[in-house]
Amino acid sequence: MTTTEAPAPPDVRVPATTARTRHTLGRVLATLARSVAIFVPVFLVATFVTFALRSLSGLSPARIQLGEEATPEAVARVEAHWGLNRPFLVQYADWFGGVLHGQLGASWTNGADISTLIGLGLGVSLSVATFALLIGVVAGFALGTVAALRRTTWADRAITGFVTVISVMPAFVVGIVLVAVFAVGLHLFPSAGYVPAEQGFGPWLAHITLPAVALSFDVVADVARQLRGSLIGAYRENYVTGAVVRGLSPRRIFFGHVLRNGLGPALATLGLKFPALVGASVVTEWIFGLQGFGRFANDSAQAGDVPAVQGVLVVSIVLVVAFNLLVNLVLARVTPTAQRGV
């Protein structure tokens, strides 16, 4: 059954609906404007901090390219080549201008274009992260909804217990267990590596399943818990009692009233989870031998490749902010409470 509008007297409904559409549009625009207003200072501060990291670190490309026993002249020559002898703010302005054009500079270790390197890794990481989010949303919604609808029964208790257990399992613990059981023990999945989707959908899926499951546990737990709590809260509201009294079917009450109002916190959690997902990819990609974004971050950080690390941080900030923008837009569209302007 779909949640169609009840046949109501049209002369009353029509002006109200247009007003609501206009209102919704305004709301979406306001959300966009607010997100952009937050995004700009976030971006400025974060990029400045990431750029200042180099001066604080005292690392230099000369050390990487020439080794420890380089003459001061050689060091100065290499640093001048990279433009490090200019004033700090000039360097920052130069770099920031490049970032705005999508140019993240060249790697200190091999001189390769960092934007290209990160682009290569992002394909892997985004496949895994998207799949993990998908698992998290589907499983989390299923578990949370069942727990809320069957609350105080064995099903609710079992789900709550399960969610508590998986919420305390860090991604790398899950990853190791998955490798031990499904790759080493049962030989169901490859234990490491990545195959692009162009070379076949099956192998691609097989390679990203275990990392995605490892990443998704945290999302599943948080979404399920939030959804259970907010759905139970929504069922206590007066409008639900009103709907019951009006004789609406339980299914209609659930989809039309409870779910729309209870969805907000779960979606907001999803927005907050994304940075953690990006961070955890550092560890899972290490376990599963994926040459992704997180692996690139770890490798370049350990090699002391400062421009690469800066690039990684900038890209991660952009990813996080873009994802939050998406979540905010969905929130503004879906939940009636969002119009109050939380």
Partner 1 sequence: MVRRVLSLATGRIALAVLTVIAVLALFGPLLAPQNPLATGDHPLAAASGAHWLGTDYLGRDVLSRLLDGSRVSVLGSLEVAFTALAIGAVPGILSVHLGRVFEWVTLRLADTLVALPFLLFAVAVIALLGNGLSQAMLVTGALVSPLFYRVARAATLAVARSPYVEAAIVSGASIGWVVRRHVWAKVLPPIAVALAQTVGVGFVIVSSLTFLGIGVQPPAPTWGGLLASDLGYLSHQPWAPLAPALLIMVTVWACNLLADAIRDVSGEAGRALVNTRKARANRRREADPAPAPAGGVR
Which positions lie near partner 1, rule CB under 8 A? Answer: 38, 41-42, 45-46, 50, 53-54, 56-57, 59, 164-165, 167-173, 176-177, 179-180, 184-185, 272, 275-276, 278-280, 282-283, 286-287, 294, 297-298, 301-302, 304, 306, 309, 312-313, 316-317, 320-321, 324
Nearer of residues 142 and 301 to partner 1, judged by Cβ: 301
Supply the minimum distance, in Å, between the C-beta of residue 105 and partner 1.
16
Nearest to 223 by CA among 138, 97, 126: 138
Tell me the angle at which helices 293-303 and 114-149 cross, rounded to the nearest 10 degrees.
130
256 or 275, CB closer to partner 1? 275
- φ, ψ of residue 281 to 5 degrees: the values are -65, -25
CA gap 266, 136 in Å, rounded: 11
Give me the phi and psi of 113, to 5 degrees please. -70, 125
| Residue 276 beta carbon to partner 1: minimum distance, rounded to whole angstroms | 7
* Residue 112: count of CB within 10 angstroms of its CB: 12
Write the CA distances from 33 to 27, 47, 213, 269, 323, integer angstroms.
10, 21, 35, 21, 15
Cβ closest to partner 1, residue 231 vs residue 297: 297
d(CA 41, CA 50): 14
Rounded to a whole number of angstroms, the minimum distance from the CB of residue 189 to partner 1 is 13
Shortest approach of partner 1 to residue 330 CB, angstroms? 18
- DSSP, residue by residue, 105-131: -B-TTT--BHHHHHHHHHHHHHHHHHH
Q: Please identify, using beta-carbon distances, which residue of 259 and 297 lies nearer to partner 1.
A: 297
Closest CB to partner 1 among 190 and 256?
Answer: 190
Question: CB 46 → partner 1: shortest distance, Å?
Answer: 6
Asked if 288 contacts 333 with a C-beta cutoff of 8 angstroms, the reply is no
Rounded least distance, CB 45 to partner 1, Å: 5
Q: Between 256 and 271, whose beta carbon lies closer to partner 1?
A: 271
Q: What minimum distance in Å lies between the beta carbon of 255 and partner 1?
A: 31
HEC readout, 196-233? CHHHCHHHHHHHHHHHHHHHHHHHHHHHHHHHHHHHHH
Nearer to partner 1, 171 or 258 (CB): 171
